Amino acid sequence: MKEKRKVPVTILTGYLGAGKTTLLNKILREEHGKKIAVIENEYGEVGIDQGLVINADEEVFEMSNGCICCTVRGDLIRVLGNLMKRRDKFDYVLVETTGLADPGPVAQTFFMDDEVRDEFTLDGIVTLVDSAHINQQLEHSTESAEQVAFADVLILNKTDLVSKNEVNVLESRLRDMNKMARILRSKEAGVDVEDVLNLGAFDLQQTLDRRPTFLEPEYPFEWTGVYELKKGNYRLYFDDGPDPTMLITAIEFNSSNGKDLDGYAEDCVRIFSKEPKQLMPGEAISFNEVIELQLQDAGQKAFELYIDNKSTIGLFTQHTAEEFNIRLDDNKDDQTRDKKFSNITKGIDTKTERIWVAEHEHDDEVGSIALESLGNINPDKLNDWISKLLREKGVDIFRTKGFISYAEESRKIVFQGVHMLFTAEPGSEWGNEPRKNQLVFIGRNLDEDALRTEFEKCLA
């Protein structure tokens, strides 16, 4: 039976004003013989780039969310699911991220979700850079640094706005940050389509017989509170917080299915990808739905929660409990929704709770480290080291790439990594080439001496 061809996907990223839409239009206009589905991921209520792509022949999918870091993964799964239903109409997918997005969670989607991974393959990440403003952006924006770090292709755009010497200095700086990326220069995003499509940068082979896992994947929610509740009526209270709305999902934990909190979190990713139902204060939160709580009114707000039987429930919220002083309490006074709610200051204790988001330090430095050595690597030692390294430092390691030599293997072992996901696959034959090893790590606050020392311990 002929193996089903997966649809290749390019992630197009870059900071605000770098020229993503200009390049997108160029790709859509060129006669390259590909039917392309475009997925936009815009910041704010209106897709500001829509008017610029209106002349494209291909169908454009647009997502519109206010909190990108929390919701981009769920929305992408939903839109890719729609594409699966009409796959015969597309042979390529281009995902244009917002200028404010870290491309990491988008890239992880193509390895983490089973259904997405069966239909699509990540071909590469292309990052556009505004040559006139990138230096200032790197000083003040974590996102711009991460976009550079994740790139397989870096396009230095708008080179006509700066001197040749300034471009040379900039290219040197970006090369220090990402030694793996191919760097191109352009004016008005004038690069060939072949430079950004069919990169093969994420050629993770289907011989992988296990599901790639992330120890700390990105989720569309930041906090979970687990409660053991008796039958009865409860209220969930919120104080004023940073946003006028908040997404929430309530689910009941079933002890018979063997799931842990991480398993229920994966279920909630699917729920969060659906269209939310709006809820006003005083109304009841339903289970197994994504709810958008309306929190615009000043002061304390409360929502009803009805429990039919003694059970363990999990509340998965878009923001942390601390940001809105979230607390759950018995509805002892049985007030109607039209009456003023009691001033609840503490509430019922959680059985357990978890914050899913990692802290981001905006003054951290991004860089790349290349490790090289002659000879062969001991597979067991390497596996132990890499597993420990990614378990402890995977959040700060954006990309890993390279090849190594095993004494009993005639082919090069090719490595690919995105955060905690790490795979090793046989590549081309060594032939008469001298055996050597090379690994490149790109990330934040990397300890080169420690990495080099541990890498050398893996030599056979």
CATH number of the domain enclosing 371: 3.30.1220.10
Averaged pLDDT, 160-168: 89
Q: Are residues 16 and 75 in the same domain?
A: yes
423, β-bridge pairs: 416
Cα separation, 285 vs 293, in Å, equals: 9
Phi/psi-derived region of residue 75, left when phi > 0, alpha when psi is between -120 and 50, beta in every other case: alpha
pLDDT of residue 256: 66
Q: pLDDT per residue over 286-314, tens digit each?
A: 999 999 999 998 889 999 999 999 999 99
pLDDT of residue 186: 92
In-domain check, residue 218: no
Cα separation, 411 vs 429, in Å, equals: 4
Domain boundary among 326, 355, 384: 355
Averaged pLDDT, 336-351: 60
Q: Are residues 174 and 314 in the same domain?
A: no
Q: Are residues 55 and 169 in the same domain?
A: yes
Tell me the CATH number at 108.
3.40.50.300
pLDDT of residue 99: 65
253-267, 347-361, 395-409: which is most confident: 395-409
Q: pLDDT per residue over 418-438, tens digit each?
A: 667 667 778 778 888 888 888
Question: Average pLDDT over the chain, rounded to whole?
Answer: 76
pLDDT grade for 275, boundaries at 50, 70 and 90: confident
With a pLDDT cut of 90, the percent of the chain lying above it is 21
How many domains would you assign to the chain?
A: 3
| Model confidence, pTM | 0.51
Q: Tell which wins on pLDDT, 458 or 47.
A: 458
pLDDT of residue 344: 54
Angle between helices 68-84 and 104-112 (to 10 degrees): 40
What are the C-alpha distances in Å from 174 to residues 17, 143, 183, 314, 335?
18, 14, 9, 44, 61
Q: pLDDT per residue over 79-102, tens digit each?
A: 777 777 767 767 778 788 766 667
DSSP 53: G
pLDDT grade for 175, boundaries at 50, 70 and 90: confident
In-domain check, residue 182: yes
190-199, 201-210, 333-342: which is most confident: 190-199
pLDDT of residue 127: 92
Of residues 112, 66, 116, 115, the one with CA closest to residue 95: 116
Q: Are residues 434 and 329 in the same domain?
A: no
Angle between helices 261-272 and 68-84 (to 10 degrees): 70
Q: Are residues 34 and 153 in the same domain?
A: yes
Other CB atoms within a 10 A radius of the CB of residue 458 amount to 21
Of residues 273, 169, 158, the one with CA closest to residue 221: 273
> Which residues touch 67 (CB under 8 Å, ≥6 apart)?
243, 318
Q: Are residues 343 and 375 in the same domain?
A: no
With a pLDDT cut of 70, the percent of the chain lying above it is 76
Query: What single-letter amino acid sits at 382?
Result: L
Given a cut of 80, is residue 356 above it in pLDDT?
no
In-domain check, residue 232: yes
Domain boundary among 202, 237, 270: 202
Token pair listed for 86: 């009409």
Of residues 176, 195, 124, 183, the one with CA closest to residue 159: 183
Given a cut of 60, is residue 151 above it in pLDDT?
yes
Q: pLDDT per residue over 12-35, tens digit each?
A: 888 877 888 778 767 766 666 667
Q: Are residues 288 and 408 in the same domain?
A: no
Long-range contacts of 268-272 (CB under 8 A, 24+ apart): 268/219, 268/221, 268/314, 268/316, 269/73, 269/74, 269/77, 269/219, 269/220, 270/74, 270/77, 272/71, 272/74, 272/220, 272/221, 272/247, 272/316
Domain boundary among 355, 376, 411: 355
In-domain check, residue 209: no
Q: Are residues 44 and 174 in the same domain?
A: yes
Half-sphere exposure of 71 (CA within 13 A, CB side): 26
223-237, 358-372, 400-414: which is most confident: 223-237
Q: Tell which wins on pLDDT, 277 or 444.
A: 277
> Which residues touch 196 (CB under 8 Å, ≥6 apart)?
10, 12, 23, 27, 124, 126, 153, 155
pLDDT of residue 58: 41
pLDDT of residue 245: 92
pLDDT of residue 227: 93
pLDDT of residue 278: 94
pLDDT of residue 346: 65
Given a cut of 90, is residue 6 above it in pLDDT?
no
Given a cut of 70, is residue 326 above it in pLDDT?
yes
pLDDT of residue 60: 41
Residue 118 belongs to what H/E stretch? Answer: helix 114-119
Q: Are residues 193 and 82 in the same domain?
A: yes
In-domain check, residue 213: no
pLDDT of residue 457: 93
Given a cut of 50, is residue 216 above it in pLDDT?
no
233, β-bridge pairs: 306
Q: Tell which wins on pLDDT, 440 or 325.
A: 325
* Residue 229 dihedral angles phi and psi, to the nearest 5°: -125, 145
Strand 411-418 and strand 397-404: pairing?
Answer: antiparallel
Given a cut of 80, is residue 66 above it in pLDDT?
no
Q: Tell which wins on pLDDT, 153 or 421.
A: 153
Q: Are residues 321 and 373 in the same domain?
A: no
In-domain check, residue 440: yes
Provide the Cα torsion 269, 272, 275, 278; round to 10°.
170
> What is the C-alpha R_g of the chain?
24
In-domain check, residue 274: yes
Q: pLDDT per residue over 127-136, tens digit each?
A: 999 998 888 8
* Angle formed at CA 329 by CA 328 and CA 334, multiple of 5 degrees: 130
In-domain check, residue 214: no
Given a cut of 60, is residue 50 above it in pLDDT?
no
Given a cut of 80, is residue 71 above it in pLDDT?
no
Q: Are residues 293 and 388 in the same domain?
A: no
- Answer yes or no: are the C-beta atoms of 443 and 373 closer than 8 Å: no
Given a cut of 90, is residue 41 above it in pLDDT?
no
Q: Are residues 228 and 180 in the same domain?
A: no
Domain boundaries, position 436: 366-458
**What DSSP line would sit under 167-230, residue for residue?**
HHHHHHHHHHH-SSSEEEE-STT---GGGTSS--TT---TT--S----SS---S-SEEEEEEE-
Q: pLDDT per residue over 363-393, tens digit each?
A: 336 677 888 888 999 989 988 898 888 888 8
Long-range contacts of 281-288 (CB under 8 A, 24+ apart): 281/337, 282/337, 282/338, 283/337, 285/236, 285/248, 285/250, 286/250, 287/250, 287/251, 287/252, 287/313, 288/249, 288/250, 288/251
